Amino acid sequence: MAKKKKTFRPKARTPKGLRDIGASTVRAEQMMLARIRDVYELYGFEPLETSAFEYADALGKFLPDADRPNEGVFSFQDDDDQWLSLRYDLTAPLARFVAENYDGLAKPYRRYQTGPVWRNEKPGPGRYRQFTQFDADTIAAPTVAADAEMCMMAADCLEALGIPRGDYVMRVNNRKVLDGVLETAGVVGEGPEFEVQHLTVMRAIDKLDRLGPDGVRRLLGKGRKDESGDYTEGAHLEEAQIDRIIAFTQCGQTDRIAVCDAMAELVGESEVGAEGVAELREIDALITACAYGPERIAFDPAVVRGLGYYTGPVFEAELTFEAETDEGVTRFGSVGGGGRYDNLIERFKGVKVPATGFSIGVSRLYSALEALGKLNQDEVIAPVVVLVMDKDQLPGYQLMVRELRNEGIRAELYLGGSGMKAQVKYADKRNSPIVVIEGGNEREAGEVTLKDLILGSQLSSQIEDNAEWRESQPAQLAVPRAELIKGVKDMLARHFDMSHVDARHR
């Protein structure tokens, strides 16, 4: 077949795992970020912004993943051959910043930061290769008071966003307790082999909610084969060890003190274990004093968190309600998490700098709020559109736009090249409340015509005959040119509460 000669055209498409975000979502998301920021500010945190990419060695790798050591991060080489990487979270850049500016910072240093991060992974539903996090961290704070505060602040954030008490819970655990249990269970050792086993155990526990105790049991033992035939290598523990770990993960309950008691029992003689339990008791005392009950902050031994660098308390913000989405009923699960990382800055400084932090997964939380109906998306009134009836009258039209803008009314001149019908259609599509019409007839009479598109749209459901509909010119009003502003304001006031527009200009 003879093909037509074609000029090459690139395919317009978004890269895998990336997406565009439309106007109403951007607005709603920014409102959400503002509310979170207000809570962080209230707690005394200061804003910080760092760049999107860093020297690769400064970001470091905190995940000893034997299989794929270099995956997950987007990297490229500078013209001096040094490797740069896009940040994959906001904590690693913070560690670099603190190390670089250590002496000048008031310590404890408390900062918050939001922005996109990038991970080079297979995208999935609700999982992208670029996503936004909103972090707060306290650096050089050795006591668990800092951790307790993180948990309370996270709870406050969720409530500030309109999530009712009872629909979320902060689940808290301590890595030290976990280590203690492993110690008494006899899962001990040193070197990379032990690291891998340790990691496997953590990952297994992390899957408890999805696979249940039996699945976790298999992962702790020989291994597990899933329905698609994929086999996951296990940790090869003995039955008695597995029993002890499973018992530990199951000892969660409502009363925080009772959880601590159960943990103390399972930790036995282990020193780190005892230390971990003591820390949890201290956290309990702090949050109890502030009246955060277990329905808001609970102790749960099944919380593990991805591991990388955590050394003490770890926490996870979980949404517990179910919601109808396109895919049916879903639980949103974890929308954020964090914990204590005492040796992250040590990489740079050579001295231990204790720190703790919390990170909110913005997109995930956003979809949850959307499902809850907590986002009022269309608060912004679309612009008034001034139509171009006669091209030689542009300065006059532009002046009308200027006058409207001076009054704080969103307005724009029609900047396209099409006829009147297309212009009204455009305004309609933009959700514009009003179009301003000044053709020859109006000009002669010293008037402008205002067309109320919202009212017109309501009337249009009763249209029978097109010609008649046009002649009747529904929802239109001619006002003297000098009263353009007043006319527009009155018309807007039919549909909107205009107090905030006026207030801005007083």
Pairing of strands 384-386, 434-437: parallel
Which 112-151 residues touch RNA, going by CB under 7 A? 119-125, 127
- In sequence order, the 6+-apart residues with CB closer than 8 A to the CB of 413 are 385, 386, 388, 394, 397, 398, 401
Query: Is residue 96 a contact point for RNA (CB under 7 A)?
Result: no
Binder of RNA out of 54, 56, 58, 88 (CB under 7 A): 88
Omega before 294 cis (within 30°)? no
3-state secondary structure (DSSP) of residue 17: coil
The stretch among 38-46, 48-56, 85-93, 170-178 that binds RNA (CB under 7 A) is 85-93
Binder of RNA out of 286, 456, 479, 488 (CB under 7 A): 456
Query: Is residue 66 a contact point for RNA (CB under 7 A)?
Result: no
Q: Are 360 and 36 in contact (CB under 8 A)?
A: yes
Nearer to RNA, 73 or 247 (CB): 73
3-state secondary structure (DSSP) of residue 156: helix
- Return left, alpha or beta for 174; rule: phi > 0 is left, psi -120 to 50 is alpha, else beta: beta
The stretch among 21-29, 70-78, 95-103, 404-412 that binds RNA (CB under 7 A) is 70-78
Nearer to RNA, 272 or 314 (CB): 314
Q: Are 87 and 120 in contact (CB under 8 A)?
A: no
The stretch among 4-12, 100-108, 160-168, 493-501 that binds RNA (CB under 7 A) is 4-12
Give me the least distance between CB of 81 and RNA, in Å please. Answer: 22
Q: Looking up tokens 């549909």, which residue turns up?
A: 495
Show the binding pattern over residues 187-226: x = contacts RNA (CB under 7 A), - = does not: ------------x---x--xx--xx--------------x
Nearer to RNA, 206 or 279 (CB): 206
Binder of RNA out of 58, 201, 272, 389 (CB under 7 A): 389
The stretch among 34-42, 135-143, 157-165, 453-461 that binds RNA (CB under 7 A) is 453-461
Q: H or E element: which one contains 195?
A: helix 191-206
Which 18-47 residues touch RNA, going by CB under 7 A? none
Which 329-368 residues touch RNA, going by CB under 7 A? none
The stretch among 103-111, 257-265, 441-449, 484-492 that binds RNA (CB under 7 A) is 441-449
CA distance 491 to 479: 11
What count of residues does the chain have? 506
Query: Is residue 422 a contact point for RNA (CB under 7 A)?
Result: yes
Query: Is residue 382 a contact point for RNA (CB under 7 A)?
Result: no
CA distance 304 to 176: 11
Give the total of residues touching RNA (CB under 7 A). Answer: 79
Q: Are 319 and 168 in contact (CB under 8 A)?
A: yes
The stretch among 22-30, 182-190, 423-431, 485-493 that binds RNA (CB under 7 A) is 423-431
Query: Is residue 103 a contact point for RNA (CB under 7 A)?
Result: no
Query: Is residue 89 a contact point for RNA (CB under 7 A)?
Result: yes
CA distance 262 to 257: 9
CA distance 362 to 115: 9
Give me the least distance between CB of 401 and RNA, in Å please. Answer: 18
Query: Is residue 457 a contact point for RNA (CB under 7 A)?
Result: yes
Which 278-317 residues touch RNA, going by CB under 7 A? 305-309
User: Tokens for 63?
Assistant: 């995940």
Q: Are 428 and 377 in contact (CB under 8 A)?
A: no
Q: Which residues are paired to 278 by β-bridges?
A: none
Nearer to RNA, 292 or 397 (CB): 397
CA 231 to chain CA mean position, Å: 33
Produce one character per residue of 197-236: b if its CB has 16 or more CB atoms within 10 Å, e if not. bbbbbbbbbbbbeebeeebbbbbbbeebeeeeeeeeebbe
Query: Is residue 470 a contact point for RNA (CB under 7 A)?
Result: yes
The stretch among 27-35, 99-107, 241-249, 471-479 that binds RNA (CB under 7 A) is 471-479
Binder of RNA out of 31, 258, 382, 454 (CB under 7 A): 454
Give me the least distance between CB of 2 and RNA, in Å please. Answer: 6
Nearer to RNA, 23 or 463 (CB): 463
- In sequence order, the 6+-apart residues with CB closer than 8 A to the CB of 80 are none
